[in-house]
Structure formats: structure tokens, C-alpha cells
Amino acid sequence: MTAHRAQWKGHLKIGELACAVGLYTAASTSDRISFHMLNQKTGNRLRREFIDSETEEVVEREQQVKGFETGNGDYIIIDPEEVAAVVPDSDKMLEAEAFIPCDQIDDVYFDKPYYLAPADDESHQAFTSMRDALAKTDVAAIARTVLFRRMRTVLILPHGKGLIATTLNYDYEVRSSKEAFKGVRKVKVEDEMLDLAKHIIDTKKGDFDPAQTDDRYETALAAFVKAKAEGKALPKPKPIKVSKPNDLLKALRESAGLDKNSSKNPKAANANSGKKKSAGPGAKNASKAKTKKAS
């Protein structure tokens, strides 16, 4: 059995079968670089102070209460006990209400993952049966209960020898992708471009282990701070060249390694980009030249 303390203990139930389980934090997000706020004039650290927005007097912690704005700067004071009273007593039961086919899961709702493991010896058989039944039917269980003082919906999926329960964001917290992309102009993609892009993808296919990623920003920032402290000139960001619609096919071809001439002769490729002011006619000529090469 695991030596870690469970965040929550209760029962997992599918149909008439139930077993004792524990929820364990599976992931956290840590802040890394923390800057301190300073007074630019004195170089001293800053301290946060809480003041009354009208009288500007300091408000001590015991004087601070929670209020809900009803409009026009009017507030209704809410007692934390009143908020707590709205939360029903937990039945400590994660009971599957429904099962969702795995391909229907909208991961944008995902909040935080927790490992779900059997809490005692008697629960193992029921637990492994549930895990394998979910895996075999290729579905996720949806359950809800009072967790961490809110009524939360969790999505339960097999993971290795155990299960993962992911808390889900509430409906009002998620913007649907449909809505987010509503204003996006539909673009007809030319077959030749699509084929080239697919070719580029094929050359970049590989394996990826997220655990191996490091944060290069910390190193870059440390180098930046050192340069500044030594009074060295700070670097200017390099301008980024955007592919113009007229150059897109050329850029795709070069990326796919098909435009042999330009890769062997970088001068020719740079000739166009160098003449920024005459981009209009220059680009036209370039696309004409491409048509010739293609045929």
C-alpha cells in the first residue's frame, strides 16, 4: 500500500459494486522564477498593504469580510459559514452516473488529475474489475461528489495498474472551441501545399517524452541579467519574417527539401528577401519562376 496520504477517501461505485478508494494528487504546477517587486527609485523591496478604497486607511485582517457586489458599489456581506452551509454533506461516494465513449471526451474541460487506488485489501478485486471493465469497453466513467468543498464532476479512466480521476471544469468555466473559432475565415487549402506540408510532417515524426523538457528561459534570463549587470549592450530581438501568401508555396517547397536550387545557392534565396521595398513585383517574379521549375 502506498505510504502517501490520500487527499480524499471514499468509495467508488459502479452499479451495485463498490470499493474503498483513496485519491492522490497526481500533478501540481509550480512557479519557478519569482521576481521580487522593488521600488525603482530606492531599490527597496515592496510590501503589499490592504487599504479601504474610499478612506485609504489600512484595513486589518480581522476587519476584512467577504462581500458580493450587487451593482453600484453595493455589497452584500456573506459569512463564510453561510457559504459552507450551502455545500451538502459529502456522502463520500464516487458513483458512476454515466459512461462516455473515450473518443467523445473533450479534454478542454480537464482540471486536475488524481491517482485513484484501492484503500484496503478487501477492495482490490472490485477495483481491478472496474479498471478492466472500463478499459475493455473503452469508456470513461463520470461521477460527482463533494470534493474539496465543492460539488465536482470527475472523469475516471484506467491508467497503468490503477485509475486516474480528473476533476472537470464547470460548464461556465469553459469556452467552447466552436465559439472560439466562429469568426475564423475558412481557407481553401491547395492540394500541392497540403502534400508538401504532409511531407514536412513525415520528416519530423518522432517520439516525445514530456518529462525530459527543461526550462531554458531561466538560463536565458540569468545570462541577460549578467549582461545587464556588467553594463553590456542588451540584445535587440531579431525581426521575424512572416511568409507572405505569394511566398508560401516556395517556403513549403524549401522546407520539404524539394527546391534544390535555392538550398544549394543561398544567395539566390536571399536575393528576394533582401529587396523588401520591392516586395510586390519581386514576389510575383518569384512565383512565376516557381511555376517554371514545377513544370
Of residues 238 through 257, those in contact with another protein by CB under 8 A are 240-245, 248, 251-252, 254-256
Identify which of residues 77 and 292 has a Cβ nearer to another protein in the complex: 77
Binding residue for another protein, selected from 5, 72, 178, 295, defined by CB under 8 A: 178
Q: How many residues bind another protein (CB under 8 A)?
A: 166
The C-alpha atoms of residue 43 and residue 38 are separated, in whole angstroms, by: 6
Q: What is the CA radius of gyration of the chain?
A: 29
Q: Min. distance of Cβ 188 from another protein in angstroms?
A: 8
Within residues 209-238, the interface with another protein by CB under 8 A covers 210-213, 215-217, 220-221, 223-225, 228-229, 234-237
The C-alpha atoms of residue 36 and residue 34 are separated, in whole angstroms, by: 7
Binding residue for another protein, selected from 72, 88, 280, 292, defined by CB under 8 A: 88
The C-alpha atoms of residue 10 and residue 117 are separated, in whole angstroms, by: 11
Q: Within 10 Å of residue 293's Cβ, how many Cβ atoms? A: 13
Residues 153 and 142: beta-carbon distance below 8 Å: yes
Residues 6+ positions from 112 with CB-CB distance below 8 Å: 25, 26, 27, 166, 167
Binding residue for another protein, selected from 9, 46, 268, 293, defined by CB under 8 A: 46
Q: Min. distance of Cβ 41 from another protein in angstroms?
A: 5
Q: Min. distance of Cβ 294 from another protein in angstroms?
A: 17
Q: Does 44 bind another protein (CB under 8 A)?
A: yes
Binding residue for another protein, selected from 8, 147, 153, 165, defined by CB under 8 A: 153
Using the contact rule CB under 8 A, the part of the chain among 143-151, 274-282, 284-292 near another protein is: 143-151
Within residues 19-38, the interface with another protein by CB under 8 A covers 24-33, 35-38
Q: Min. distance of Cβ 238 from another protein in angstroms?
A: 9
- Amino acid found at 74: D
Q: Residue 147, Cα to own-chain centre: how many angstroms? A: 23
Within residues 253-282, the interface with another protein by CB under 8 A covers 254-256
**Cα 88–94–97 angle (5° rounding)?**
100
Between strands 139-147 and 93-101, the pairing is: antiparallel
**Cα 256–259–263 angle (5° rounding)?**
95
The C-alpha atoms of residue 280 and residue 257 are separated, in whole angstroms, by: 25
Within residues 111-130, the interface with another protein by CB under 8 A covers 113, 115, 117-118, 124-130
Within residues 55-84, the interface with another protein by CB under 8 A covers 55, 59, 63-70, 73, 75-79, 82-83
